[in-house]
Amino acid sequence: MKKLIMFAVVTVMALSVAQAADDDKKKAPRKGRAGGIQAMIKQLDLTADQKKALSKFNKENKDKGAAARKLEGKERRAAMKKIAEARTAKLKEILTEEQAKKLKELQAKAQANRKGKKK
């Protein structure tokens, strides 16, 4: 009887360890763009005013982005490019020279990483 109880306890413990391992796999960061422009912007140490201006811009353009994602093909690409250009223009307005330089470096690094993965 003791062996049966011990076997049950060991089985339950093994299953809980296996479940914990599965949970860790699910929480792993996704591969790919790793957050895109938003992740890069977080690395720029924006001031409160800059964050507020960017947040306002993002809220104003949220619907445009959602509408663009519903499109397909060339229309979608053109709409997303227009939104990206507007964001770039807004960033030029609110970022300092140093922050703009750092953003360009981050973008160049991300582009190099993307090109390296395609090969």
Q: Which pLDDT does position 32 carry in this prediction? A: 52
Q: Is 102 helix (H, G, I), strand (E, B) or coil?
A: helix
pLDDT tens over the chain, length 119 residues: 888 888 888 888 877 877 776 665 555 555 555 567 778 888 888 889 988 988 888 888 888 888 888 888 999 999 989 988 988 888 888 888 998 898 888 888 888 887 776 65
Contact yes or no for 67/79 (Cβ under 8 A): yes
Q: Which pLDDT does position 78 carry in this prediction? A: 92
Q: Which pLDDT does position 119 carry in this prediction? A: 54
Q: Which residue has the tokens 């140490």?
A: 45
Q: Which pLDDT does position 82 carry in this prediction? A: 92
Q: Which pLDDT does position 64 carry in this prediction? A: 86
The domains of the chain are located at: 34-118
Q: Which residue has the tokens 């001031």?
A: 47
